[in-house]
Chains A and B, each alone.
Chain A
Amino acid sequence: ELKVEQNPLFLSMQEGKNYTIYCNYSTTSDRLYWYRQDPGKSLESLFVLLSNGAVKQEGRLMASLDTKARLSTLHITAAVHDLSATYFCAVDGGAQKLVFGQGTRLTINP
């Protein structure tokens, strides 16, 4: 059974700092997705990572995938308040089933 674990679950950081969110998964998969959710809102797709070594960047966010280590990272560079949200990773569990991590609630303070 595929398990997806994120850490940390809660992260409070200052503007201008860098940090990384980690997403580990338990069984082989070549597809991993990152989503953002603002409070009371729906989920918005950030990145789709489809192969080992894939790296995607959008603004201050960069995501990477290491399928051999079963690990994806979401790196935040020079954080700004607008990035405060909950971030989810999700792994393709086969048979078109997506398994989500618990989410990382990120708060960025001025």
Chain B
Amino acid sequence: NAGVTQTPKFQVLKTGQSMTLQCAQDMNHEYMSWYRQDPGMGLRLIHYSVGAGITDQGEVPNGYNVSRSTTEDFPLRLLSAAPSQTSVYFCASSDRGLTNEKLFFGSGTQLSVL
């Protein structure tokens, strides 16, 4: 059972480039989310989705887009990368939202924007 799979694990971008971070889960979870982790700041929610076709903004959505065309996949798009987006990105999923279920995290993507 693969759980939550993120690709790539590492990425270096130049300012202004765009890219997509991939996230897939094979647990048939309805809820999926993207977090960024910066030193000393814990994890901050970027976007989340409660099911296919439904997405919403988290705490720090600016500069990022998401879509949810299938239950399994929840890609995160950086439209025009900036150095402030240098961070570690985690995708997470859970069953039935957060009512009584823990989040399962992917292994993370370390992104550097030069």
A-B contact count (CB 8 A): 55
What's the minimum C-beta distance from A33 to chain B, rounded to whole angstroms?
Answer: 6
Of the four ranges (under 10, 10 to 19, 20 to 34, 35 or more), the interface on chain B belongs to 20 to 34
A31 and B98 form a contact (CB under 8 A): yes
B31 and A96 form a contact (CB under 8 A): yes
Q: Known contacts A88-B42, A92-B98; decide if A42 and B106 are in contact (CB<8 Å).
A: yes
Chain A count of residues within 8 A CB distance of the other chain: 23
Q: Known contacts A42-B90, A102-B41, A102-B42; decide if A97 and B59 are in contact (CB<8 Å).
A: yes
User: Which B residues lie within 8 Å of A97 (CB)?
Assistant: 45, 48, 58-59
Q: Known contacts A33-B103, A42-B106, A45-B103; decide if A88 and B43 are in contact (CB<8 Å).
A: yes
Q: Known contacts A88-B42, A96-B31, A96-B50; decide if A42 and B107 are in contact (CB<8 Å).
A: yes
A42 and B40 form a contact (CB under 8 A): no
User: Which A residues lie within 8 Å of B92 (CB)?
Assistant: 43
